[in-house]
Amino acid sequence: MLNIAFGQSKYYIDNLSENVKRGLRQKVRRGEYPGVAPTGYLNNRLTKKMVPDPERFKFVKKIFQLYATSNHSLKEVRNIITEAGLRSRNGKILCVSNIQAILVNPFYYGAFKFNGELYQGNHKPAITKKLFNKCQKVMKSKAHHTNRGIKFFAFRGIFNCGECSCGITAETQKGHNYYRCTKKKTSCSQKYVREESLNEQISKILQKVSLPSAWTKKMIAELEKEKDKTERADFSFVQNLKSQINECKDKLDKLLDLQLSETISTEEYAEKKQKILNQKIEISEKLKVFQQKGYSWLEPAKNFILVSNEAKNAASGTDLAEKAEFLKKVGSNLVLTDQTIKYFPRGAWKILGNLPHFSAEPRSGEAQNGTENREYSIVLPG
């Protein structure tokens, strides 16, 4: 009797667990994350969906934005966001590991992981995949620095020695930062350069390639005009992205078939699926950006103009890391010879760098002439 009762209840339990598992699988395929909503979202009991938490959604976004600047450690991000008012659902201050968990959770860009597999969610993303990627990059580079106990120098790893082509490294001596050739290959006669000197030189370079605000506005206006003309040509670009998305969908279907027929292992399936799904999400984002703002060429062109205008602010600013980023954007083959920076301007910045009058604000007459004789035609960078 006991045996039969035991057998029956075991059958019942097995069946139940199988049913629960099946239910979960169906749920995740519908794009529903089967668990407690992560910080910034709430479980809606009626619709069984994850919805943005009106109180915390904006904070989550802010966490990613702050961290992506790479100006803040995890702890600083935690402190800033706590100061701004973020508390957990049970009223506690988030700890640093909570912040880190948020920053690596694909849920926030619209996907989620279940059983080691990535799924496309049907919830509203808090951030773009692009911002998420940026944060992963920052995290990786920060881990690299702290693991090796290396101090941060804004201009390290940017230059090569003009004499022996070794890398230029940095160190602090008596409160000043110095940059010097690593002299790893041969003997090299190059001397130290003080950070202040590099900073000054970089400011001058950025000044040279920066666009005055008055020009910026006119150039953007020109681009907008150009945009209207080419509206039709961009139709095919959208079609192309859409067919790429469909291709990804096909690939995912085929992959699922392979896994169901046990042609590939579960691990292999999960790995390939993650790759294709991330691809699909990135293309969809591109499409969305394109449809919202229009015109694939317009964005890089505008971006170039805006960056050139921002370079002006960076040149006079005190943020050395920002200056270093700008310098890398506008110049390639950065070399240090006899304590002097030499570089090749990239793409369109070549033109700006070669125009001596460009760094000054144009007089009103000049600017108008420029507009008329198409001096604004732009070569896209990179």
Binding residues for Zn ion, per CB under 5 A?
Answer: 161, 163-164, 166, 181, 188, 190
Shortest gap between Cβ of 364 and Zn ion (angstroms)?
49
Closer to Zn ion by Cβ: residue 181 or 209: 181
- Lateral strand order in the sheet of 331-337: 160-161, 331-337, 340-345
Shortest gap between Cβ of 182 and Zn ion (angstroms)?
8
Shortest gap between Cβ of 181 and Zn ion (angstroms)?
3
CA distance 380 to 303: 10
Shortest gap between Cβ of 189 and Zn ion (angstroms)?
8
Contact (CB, 8 A) for 308 and 209: yes
Shortest gap between Cβ of 337 and Zn ion (angstroms)?
9
Structure tokens that stand for 70 in this block: 């790479």
Closer to Zn ion by Cβ: residue 173 or 186: 186
Closer to Zn ion by Cβ: residue 163 or 285: 163
Shortest gap between Cβ of 200 and Zn ion (angstroms)?
22
CA distance 251 to 273: 9
Closer to Zn ion by Cβ: residue 250 or 338: 338
Helix axes 298-316, 320-330, angle to 10 degrees: 140
What number of residues does the chain have?
Answer: 382
Closer to Zn ion by Cβ: residue 166 or 335: 166
Shortest gap between Cβ of 194 and Zn ion (angstroms)?
17
Single-letter amino acid code for the residue at 48: K
Residue 75: CB partners within 8 Å, gap ≥ 6? 96
Among 176, 153, 161, 167, smallest CA distance to 340 is for: 161
Among 181, 177, 182, 178, smallest CA distance to 193 is for: 178
Q: Where are the beta strands (DSSP E) in 17-125?
A: 41-44, 49-52, 111-114, 117-120
Residue 305: CB partners within 8 Å, gap ≥ 6? 211, 216, 219, 220, 223, 378
Closer to Zn ion by Cβ: residue 76 or 163: 163
Closer to Zn ion by Cβ: residue 177 or 190: 190
Among 138, 154, 146, 71, smallest CA distance to 103 is for: 138
Shortest gap between Cβ of 180 and Zn ion (angstroms)?
8
CA distance 203 to 100: 35
Contact (CB, 8 A) for 205 and 330: yes
Closer to Zn ion by Cβ: residue 117 or 163: 163
Closer to Zn ion by Cβ: residue 70 or 169: 169
Shortest gap between Cβ of 331 and Zn ion (angstroms)?
19
